[in-house]
Structure 1
Amino acid sequence: MIRTKKIIKYTILTAGTVGAVGAITSFKSNQYNVDSIGIIRFGRASFTALTIVTYYKTSLYKYGEKMDHKSPEYIQLRSKTHKKAAEKLLELCQANRGVYIKVGQHIGALDYILPIEYVETMKVLHSRAPASTIEEVKQVFKEDLNKNPEDVFENIDPMPLGAASLAQVHKAKLKDGRTIALKVQHPTVKGNSLVDLKTMEMLAKIVSWILPEFKIQWLVDETKRNIPKELDFQIEADNTEKVKMMFRHMSWLKIPDIYREMCSPRVLAMEFVEGGQVNDMEYIKNHQINPFEISDKLSKLYGEMIFKHGFVHSDPHPGNILVRKMKNGSTEIILLDHGLYANLTDDFRYEYAQLWISILNRDMRSMSVHCSALGVSDLFWLLSSMVTGRSWDAIRSGLNTTQFNNNEKDLVQREFPNLLSCISDVLSSVNRQMILIFKTNDLLRGIEHSLKTYSRMDSFSVITKNCVETVYTERKKQCVSRIEKLKVTCAEQWTLLKLNLYYNYLRFRSWFTTFV
């Protein structure tokens, strides 16, 4: 009781300090929007945090302590508490918008790591983020580019093509007849971000203090690191052009052109491209697109991003990946929203590749070594499961021979909530480059699951080959003679040949099962 009173007192004092500063700094910068006042946003977030803490204290921890943690009664109570807390958190994200929605989307992307109740509740934010009015959109355009929208555009569709956490996209027609996609930042996001990030950091410390298994500072740290980059659309324009050049050899990949003359930190004008969302099975079926081709091409794209270039598109949710039929009959992948990229160092990529190979070889000692190099030692088995999205039993049995199915996914999502404290420890200590990789991997697995292509293990095929090439490339750099280099090259080619034979067998078996 004394501890709770101290926490409430600390929260009130901090609310007064942060709120007062926020009221001055954000009210004016956010066009005198009352909802943007720091004390209101902080008060709303503090109330939600204390409410969620109360849920756990008066329900799960009060009654759950006396229960067998494997009993159906405890599992049901835990699920009910998670769901109730997640719904309260969703209400906060939708009310405060901006950075809060970004955090909610991040939670909704960690399908194989966080409790399913949080993930499923937050997933709605990927497709139903609140939108700004067309008047607000025009005002931002006018402020940033010093031009009246009426002088530039024939028309701007008032209904956004999509509304995200930080911005929304409208279809617009220029005076010269060109149709473009106009991405405009929500007007209050930037002004609110400083206060919101300070609020989150303070509340994360309080929640971790009261509920030690909820160590969420890693999420706050990632948000603080990434939000400033995502709020500058000039960076997104640079990323878009960089990736367009980097993957110009992939004829089936479409990256929209950027129109620099209409770009600013809050406005991004790009080529308008049509297609169906990568998880829209009705569109895929109606246009006779092969889901396995989609899965194969996405695996190749992200495999090259991670293991060859170390420059990884880190927000591959379905709204950012479109597909369409090309004139030659093959499938084109359209990659959108280039605001967030993970930059991976050579050392990280090498250790990550070595970890994958040790997992595929069922080499427990090597797994432990490479997990330790990535920041996690004692919980190497858990990090291995989090990286692959597979159960520890499947890893020990051999991922190359154990196909992933719905039963295993259900098992992973049932067991991981029991390990919440351990998962928090992993996320707090693992190499920071791994955090966005977790998010990227989970989103890609979600797409593969929607496409029902996981039986052919395309992603594992590409990952394995890229890992082999990454590791052997590093080994060749260390060779001191041509003979030694030749031996390493032969070993690499032999390994790749065996992998190709095995995965071609899996593809044939999948095709045979489907059509025979």
Structure 2
Amino acid sequence: MAIRRFRSKCSVLDPFKPVVKRFHSMGWGSIYVRRMKVFSLAILIYLDYKSLKHRQKWTTDSEKAALWEKAHERNANRIVKLIIELEGMWVKMGQYFSVRADGLPGAYPRLLKQLQDSLPPRCLKEVCRTIQKELGKSMDDLFTTFVEAPIATASIAQVHRATLRDGQEVVVKVQHEGIKTIILEDLKDAKSVVEWIVWAEPKYNFHPVIDEWCKEAPKELDFNKEAENTRKVSKNLGCKDNRIDKNPEHRVKVLMPEVIQSTERVLILEYMDGVRLNDSRSLDSLGVNKKNIVEEITRAYAHQIFLDGFFNADPHPGNFLVTKSRPHLPILLDFGFTKLLSSSMKHTVAKMFLASAELDALSGDIVLFLRVLNLLAGLSTALNVSVSYYRIIRPFAESALECDTNEGPKDNAEWVCDSPVNSEVEAKLRALLVQLGYADKILGIQVCAYKDGNVIIDTAAGVLGNYDPSPVQPDTLFPVFSVTKGVTAGILHWLVDKGKVKLEEKVANIWPEFSSNRKNLIKVFFFCLMTFYLARGDQVSALGRRLMQIWVKLGQNHKANI
């Protein structure tokens, strides 16, 4: 076998030149050493910021900013150095926060960016040992060439370029020895640190994030799952078959490598030549439109989340390449950390995005969805481009809800609420509502009628809104302006027309309780006018026209009294 040997480099990590201890067999002694280092640093940083809060009381405003900046720089350096030394899951967390340029002090994302490319590589002997054990063949039987220097070294594995015996160019992803034990213990430590932070500073509650990490992160340790995920996402996005979505707004132009072979700890993928997304100098030299690249990546993630319900939850810049040849397209990599959304959860996040509403609680699914949005926003910040995420994602989110809002009465037996039929008239009304539903004339409706003190109609049908497929019930409250205000104003004007009430009369003379809260001077005319303005949003066009006529007729005569 011809092994190309290149001098191994630590990429952008060289300024720190860390001494990295390798654990080929993780013993409990080593685990406790890692744990002590983590907790010691957490306490050190906490005390550093606490003391700074006390010191700033005796400093000027101009000095405060400098003190805080130095503290952020100092503590960010401490965190990066420890992450580089410990590796494991801490690298993943560091990568996540490295793209949160919009939510962290500048020193943190700037220094944590060093974790996006490579860590110090494992030795070739360890890599070959893992490959041969997993694939059951010697390196000579598998490859004609195998490049010693890895393309990238990450928290769980490192990637080498190689050539198979049939001449195909590939990349080989090899899991680090002993990393499974390290990852599982790191998650325990991270959870303990979060619990301690919540105890010390209750306003900083990261439990939803760390709980989801603890549940999902171990799945990355099986490369068979990553291979399956890669095939699934590639098929969903139409990367190989150039599938064209029915809706042109849903078309995605991205590339993904083909899976050649996989085991639990080794993954062989098609080699795709490209430039790292965070290599701005190379992108500029190639004439890449960085805004288009970020928009296409965003479109790809919107497709995964809202159409497929299956998405990569780890979109940091190190997981993207850009093709060197025109047309420049993004290449999506690393699908070990994915999330499958249930149909109901997909609808929930779609409604949340479209309505920009706050959720009562953050489930693990929502945490990862929001994490993806934050990371995508970080991409535009890192590349210094302005991208309208709402414009790109909106058509995908709308499509996620179409299956519900377009169902109609013919496909949904519960389109008309299954409540008791009170009369023959109500039975006929329900049949009419079904016909109107077929004709797409009704979105949601409630009808109630009394005769001689008895309920003869109490029917509800349809859904609450375009982006809310919840069925309308008899007791559903619609989010519209109150119609009762318009009805009240209409009745008051009717009473005026009949001579029962005078416009100049005080409301309190007719309704004594109205005089509370300093309203005793309000006249009937003013009350009608204000009620009209409150009722303008109602769907009561006839009443609106009638009130406007009265306003035009009487407005000039009563200006002085308003």
For the criterion TM > 0.5, the same-fold answer is yes
Cα 1:432–1:66 change in 2 (3 A) is farther
SS of the counterpart of 2:322? strand
1:225 alignment partner, SS class: helix
Aligned CA distance change for structure 1 residues 33 and 472 (closer, same or farther; 3 Å): closer
**2:222 touches 2:264 (CA, 8 Å); kept in 1?**
yes
The answer as to whether partners of 1:42 and 1:199 remain within 8 angstroms in 2 is yes
In structure 2, how many angstroms separate the alpha carbons of the residues matched to 1:58 and 1:451?
36
Which of 80, 92, 95 matches 2:70? 80
Who is 1:400 aligned against? none
1:104 aligned partner, one-letter code: G
CA, structure 1 residues 81+477, in 2 after alignment: closer, same or farther (shift >3 Å)?
farther
Q: CA deviation at 1:237?
A: 0.4
Matched, 1:49 2:46: no
2:334 aligned with 1:337, yes or no? yes
Residue 285 (structure 1) shift: 3.9
The reply to whether residue 63 of structure 1 matches residue 55 of structure 2 is yes
For residues 65 and 222 of structure 1, the distance between their equivalents in structure 2, rounded to whole angstroms, comes to 39
| Match status 1:448 vs 2:380 | yes
Question: What's the secondary structure of 2:149's corresponding residue?
Answer: coil
1:467 pairs with 381, 397, 418, which one? 397
> Counterpart amino acid of 1:467?
A
Select the residue among 333, 350, 354 that pairs with 1:353: 350
In 2, Cα distance between the equivalents of 1:372 and 1:217?
16
- Sort the Cα spacing of 1:372 and 1:294 in 2 relative to 1 into closer, same or farther, 3 A: closer
1:394 alignment partner in structure 2: none
**2:31 corresponds to:** 38
The DSSP-based 3-state class of the residue aligned with 1:253 is coil
Q: Which residue of 1 aligns with 2:407?
A: 477
Matches within 5 A, 1:355-434: 355-359=352-356, 367=357, 371-373=358-360, 375=361, 430-434=362-366
- CA drift of 1:189 comes to 1.1
Aligned partner of 1:309: which letter?
D
Residue 319 of structure 1 aligns with an amino acid whose one-letter code is G
Q: Within 5 A, what are the aligned runs for 1:63-142?
A: 63-64=55-56, 71-142=61-132
Q: 1:30·1:36 contact (CA, 8 Å) conserved in 2?
A: no
TM-score in terms of structure 2 length: 0.63
Could you say what secondary structure the match of 1:37 adopts? Answer: helix
TM-superposed deviation, 1:472: 4.4
Give the direction of change, closer, same or farther, for the CA distance of 1:116–1:157 in structure 2 (3 Å limit).
same
Amino acid at match of 2:225: I
Alpha-carbon separation, structure 1, partners of 2:397 and 2:127: 45
Amino acid aligned to 2:279: D
CA distance in 1, matches of 2:385, 2:24: 48
* Contact 2:96/2:375 (8 A) holds in 1: no
User: Structure 1 residues 314, 288: CA separation in 2 closer, same or farther (over 3 Å shift)?
Assistant: same
Q: Is the 8 A contact 2:257 2:333 kept in 1?
A: yes
Stretch of structure 1 that moved more, 37-46 or 445-454: 445-454
Contact 1:257/1:270 (<8 A) preserved: yes
Deviations 1:461-485 (A, max 9, x none): 1222233333444322365457536
Alpha-carbon distance, 1:188 to partner: 2.5
Give the partner amino acid of 2:55.
Answer: Y
CA contact (8 A) 2:101 2:381 kept: no
- Aligned-partner Cα distance in 2 for 1:205–1:352: 28
Superimposed CA distance per residue, residues 317-364 of structure 1 (whole angstroms, 9 cap, x where no aligned partner) = 2222222266xx5333311111111222333332333233334xxxxx
Aligned residues: 391
Q: What is the alpha-carbon distance in structure 1 between the residues aligned to residue 227 and residue 404 of structure 2?
A: 32
Gaps (5+ residues) in structure 2? Answer: 1-20, 244-250, 410-414, 416-433, 444-464, 467-562
Deviation, 1:432, is: 1.8
After superposition, where does 1:322-333 map in structure 2 within 5 Å? 322-324=321-323, 329-333=326-330
Alpha carbons 1:316, 1:440 under 8 Å: kept: yes
How many angstroms does 1:296 deviate by? 3.5
For 1:150, give the aligned amino acid.
Answer: D
Q: Take 1:138 and 1:267, find their aligned partners in 2: how far apart are those partners?
A: 11
| Percentage identity across paired residues of the two chains | 26
Give the structure 2 partner of residue 259 of structure 1: 260
User: Could you say which residue in structure 2 is the equivalent of 1:274?
Assistant: 273
Which of 1 and 2 has higher RCO (CA within 8 Å, sep 6+)? 1
Q: What amino acid is the match of 2:373?
A: N
Larger radius of gyration: 2
1:193 CA drift (Å): 2.2
